[in-house]
Structure 1
Amino acid sequence: MKKHNKIRKQDVEWRSERGQNNRNDSHNYQTADDQEGKPLQHYGLITATTMIIGIVIGSGIFFKSDDILSYTGGNLWLSILVFCIGAFGIIFGSLSLTEFSIRTKKNGGVVGYFEDFISLKMSSGFGWFQNFVYFPTLVSVISWVAGIYTCLLFKMDNNLETQVAIGLFYMILFYSVNIFSVFIGGYFQNLSTFIKLIPLLGIAIISIFWTASAPELEEGIQLVSQFDVGFGWLAALAPIAFSFDGWVVATSITNEVKNPNKNMTIALVVGPMIVLGVYLMYFLGLNRILGAEYILSTGDDAVKKVGELLFGRYGESILLTFVLISVLGVINGVILGSLRMPYALASKRMLPYADKITRVNPRIQLSVWSCIISFVSSSVWMLIHYLVQKNNLLKGGDVSEISIIFSYLCYIILYVKVIKMRKDMIIHSTFKGIICPVFAIIGATIIFIGGTMSNTVNVLLFLTLCVVIFAAGVLYYKE
């Protein structure tokens, strides 16, 4: 009781027992206001909100819209519901994780939270998962999607082999750009962030005034009508999780935001709500112009028809160009983070041959071995992704969705820790210490259940692989 009174009085540090070197040890944690050498707080509310919007809005909405509609049987109301569940999970999840970011000096987002608030072993496990599964699956799948839209744009043979080959080319290209020219990579990232909003908002606004009937299917395309899916609509939560992925990165900027307790709380509510609004406007606009049955029947090809209807003869190419640049921007951003992940883990002695991996090449200002590990991991997952798609092992899903679902399971560990911090009076707010993490756990659980429904056996098999890699990271650091 005396310990708790001291924490309530100071509200600047707390102790957490954790095993280290086969003995109990403790570590002090401080709020951002008490840190020495803390980052400068130069971001205001508006900047923080736009950062969150820019991070979350990516390529997923372009190529997952048809998947979401398919899992809901073409039911718009169910589709809207799963979009709202996705935003629900983001808002309460990010508000919960912010409680860590304002109490730590560590950078690195979730890996740093595990390191400071759970244990170094768990941090190593999550770092291995991100390094060898999460980032490489995203790189490989989004590169493949860029291949799909390239085939559509240039009217190439749109088969899996061509898509993957073009995707591999993009992957090599953007690894090269980010390794040898930081300036070009950063410039392209800023440009693509602006460009990706043009088709989303453009289709949403034009659809308001759209009065034409839905287009007829081209000859040779089989009509897919709306159908009843029962509780199968929960499977739409997997592509929804992909579309909203990236939100957790936003919590890592908390220490650079002015008055973070107030501004980040507002930004983490307003930002996801704006993303939800943009997504829904685009999704409903797409359905208003094309109709649910046309989207169900044509899948990823639906977006090119919108361009043709809106802008005439060259409209298809114009819209696909915007979409392709948007997707390439996401590849660039994910690779940018992936290149630095092995170095970050090695600097914490969480990878073998750490001394070699942490050696930075002065010419490119990056670790060569970190770049090699990242590229090889992405290449291996590109091969796995190809085999999964070729044999339809995930029934229309992809490996990146599984890695995102596993991430949500890992976040639950942190949400439970927030509740414990409220119990120990480290967090005083019932809303932030109980309500937010409880709702975040509910949201993560729903996404997990929905993500396993499309193909339970194979999804659980891939999740088991995630667990094995996570456990390998834990065991390596323990040894």
Structure 2
Amino acid sequence: MNNEKKIKIFEFMSVFATFVGIVVGVGIYAKNSNQPGSVLGIAQNPIIAIILWVVIGILGMTMIVVFMEVSSTTKAKNQNGNLANWLGKLHGRKLGAFSAIFNIVGYIPIIYSILSFLVIDFIFTTIGTPINSLSSLDKLLFYLFGGMGIMAIFSMANAFTRKPGKIIQIIGLAIKLIPLLIGLVLGLTQLGSDNTFSDPKLQSWSAGAFFMAIAPIMFSLDGFVYATNLQKEVKYKKQLPKALFASMFFVIVFYVLISISIFAGSTDGNLFTVFDNTLPGWMIKIVYVLIVMSAIVSLNGMTLAATNYISAGVEDGFFFFNKKVSIKTSGIIQYIISATVYLICLLVGYAVYNDNPIYIIDGFSTVITVFNFLFYGIVIVLAMINRKTNKVKTDRVRFFWPCAIISASLIFAFISVIIVGYFAALAVDPRGVVRWFIIGFALFMVLIWGINELLYKKFNPKNPDKKEKTVVENININKENLAKNTKTVSSNV
């Protein structure tokens, strides 16, 4: 095998492992059960839940086809392949900047937060002392110091060096799949007379529940776009869309099968229940350790992909300052922002909900995922417009139009119903803190974006509304000019 083929295989596996590492694992443990806010808890019918996984799977596959074409807008050397840059390319700098700020101050910190507290939660489950059995103050302290600590370790590790994190994702992928495969087999082979399908309380057929239950599934599948942020680090650009499509197909098929297995093998739609009901004690411990490692791999994958988001935003010209930011600095700043958000959510959650300090993070994670899908929908619409205007050169992908129409229609239909339904549900919360957190976050994000735009105009007075040359573009222009000058000098000599 020649060196080029080895690099292509490694890059394919790196993207595949990062994608699966981010998407698969934690969501199925945290968002699929009969608990309030989870898939079965909202749908109240395992058949509806499975149908929803299939529907969202179709959405995911169509989105990947569209994003294959969208990602080609940034396939040139030294281009960052991420949501903000695609919005900037297809529409303009301002929208790209708004998306970048949304991710940096909101989406990434919340996802870092929920993955960090889940690692702590799973550790306590593994040692046989569920964290909910502790006092409110003890829970807060363990979530606070444990969560911020684990977040710091992987944020800093992936900021200071990149290759180990990628290797962890490839190796960790096998670790992550082992407990899921065990659960898949157990759920289908150790069927009991009592399960979610036979539970008379779980036979509801509500249209409202159908749409609302989509939100936690969106959380389970979200994050795939952050694997595309590795585009700049991939030498062979054509490997990225191949790896993304293969990853999404694998994830969808696997999630549908594991959901059927969990619902058939338990009465509460919880994978932990399947293990507890079928495995001997010593084997349960081993599986639980693997689940802890799975959560760690998910956190590693997210920090690996998102650590350079600030650096990428600066390079793409979204912020008022043009000084290049290294991945190391970007990772440190992103951790500080994420840890601050985590700290605020925990302390407010403890002050208001006392026995459940993670309530705000848990609820906020679903809502912010829905808003993230809104940006996906906007990108898809812009990609369709670009097909007509040819404003940005792209690689034309087969089946783009049907996939774009289906995915955009589903996204906007789902989001419209979810937003109305979610705020209606939050309205009955006597404390209403999550609702105010959402509103406060939206206002804060607009404020930060507005300040950035005012400063951008100040530091770029000539063309405040025109997309300025980014750091990368200026570097490429300088290289071209240098090459021309060298050629001129050589000819004169």
TM-score bin (small chain):
0.7 to 0.9
1:431-453 CA deviation, whole Å, 9 max, x = no partner? 64532221121221244135332
Deviation at 1:414, TM superposition (A): 1.4
Farther off after superposition, 404-413 or 51-60: 51-60
Instruction: Supply the distance in 2 between the matched residues of 1:165 and 1:224 (Cα, whole angstroms).
Output: 40
Question: For 2:137 and 2:200, how far apart are their aligned partners in 1?
Answer: 25
Residue 42 (structure 1) aligned with residue 8 (structure 2):
yes
Match of 2:223 among 233, 239, 246: 246
Cα distance, 1:315–1:335 mapped onto 2, change above 3 Å: same
Q: Report the equivalent of 1:9.
A: none
Q: Of 45, 48, 57, which aligns to 1:78?
A: 48
- Report the counterpart of residue 463 of structure 2 in structure 1: none
Matches within 5 A, 1:74-473: 75-104=45-74, 105=76, 106-156=79-129, 158-159=131-132, 162-168=138-144, 169-179=146-156, 182=161, 185-214=165-194, 225-226=201-202, 228=204, 230=206, 231-252=208-229, 256=234, 260=238, 269-291=245-267, 294-295=268-269, 302-348=270-316, 350-351=318-319, 355=323, 358=324, 360=326, 366-367=328-329, 371-384=332-345, 387-388=348-349, 391=353, 398-424=363-389, 432-452=399-419, 453-456=421-424, 464-465=439-440, 467-472=442-447
Q: Letter of the aligned partner of 2:187 in structure 1?
A: S
Question: By how many angstroms is 1:133 displaced?
Answer: 0.3
Unaligned runs of 5+ in 2: 1-5, 458-493
TM-superposed deviation, 1:381: 3.4
Contact 1:94 1:248 in 2 (8 A): no
Cross-structure match for 1:4: none
Contact 1:309 1:315 in 2 (8 A): no
Letter in 2 for 1:314: W
Cα deviation digits, residues 66-114 of structure 1 (max 9, x gap): 11111111x1210011112221222222222222222332214112212
Q: What TM-score, normalized by structure 2, do the two folds share?
A: 0.72
CA 1:245–1:268 in 2, change beyond 3 Å: closer, same or farther?
same
Q: Which moved more, 1:448-457 or 1:43-52?
A: 43-52
Query: Given the superposition, is the C-alpha separation of residues 414 and 469 from structure 1 closer, same or farther in structure 2, using an over 3 Å criterion?
Result: farther
**Shift in Å at residue 348 of structure 1?**
4.8
Question: In 2, are the aligned partners of 1:290 and 1:306 still within 8 Å (CA)?
Answer: yes
- Tell me, what secondary structure is at the counterpart of 1:196? helix
Cα deviation digits, residues 371-426 of structure 1 (max 9, x gap):
14532433323432564585489899521222211111112221111211222366
In the alignment, which residue of structure 2 is the partner of 1:11?
none
The change in CA–CA distance for 1:285 and 1:450 in structure 2 (over 3 A counts) is farther
SS at match of 1:316: helix
Quote the sequence identity (%). 17
2:31 counterpart SS class: helix
2:30 counterpart residue number: 63
In structure 2, C-alpha distance between the alignment counterparts of 1:463 and 1:252, rounded to whole Å: 26
In 1, Cα distance between the equivalents of 2:154 and 2:379? 35
Query: What whole-Å deviation, never above 9, does each CA across 1:268-303 have from its counterpart, x for those lacking one?
Result: 555323212211222221222223xx44xxxxxx44
Change (3 A) 1:266 1:347: closer
CA displacement 1:303-332 (0-9 Å, x = unmatched): 433323332122332222111111122122
The CA RMSD measured in Å over matched residues stands at: 3.7
Shift of 1:126: 0.8
Q: Does the residue aligned with 1:366 lie in a helix, a strand or coil?
A: helix
How far apart are 1:124 and its partner, in Å? 1.2
Deviation at 1:267, TM superposition (A): 5.5
Q: Do the aligned partners of 1:92 and 1:440 also contact (CA within 8 Å) in 2? A: yes
Work out the CA distance in 1 between the residues paired with 2:277 and 2:298. Answer: 27
Query: Are the aligned partners of 2:183 and 2:275 in contact in 1 as well (CA < 8 Å)?
Result: no
1:347 deviates by: 4.3
Distance 1:372-1:83 versus aligned 2 partners, 3 A rule: same
Q: Which amino acid is 1:244 matched to?
A: L
Structure 1 residues 397 and 374 mapped into 2: Cα distance closer, same or farther (>3 Å)? closer
**C-alpha contact 1:124 1:474 (8 A) present in aligned 2:** yes
**1:359–1:463 distance in 2 versus 1, CA, 3 Å:** closer
Contact kept, 8 Å, 1:307 with 1:318, in 2: the verdict is no
SS at match of 2:73: coil
- CA change 1:95–1:324 in 2 (3 A) is same
CA distance in 2, matches of 1:88, 1:306: 27
**Quick one: distance in 1 between partners of 2:16 and 2:338?**
33
| Counterpart AA for 1:309 | N
Which ranges of structure 1 fall in alignment gaps of 5 or more residues? 1-39, 217-222, 296-301
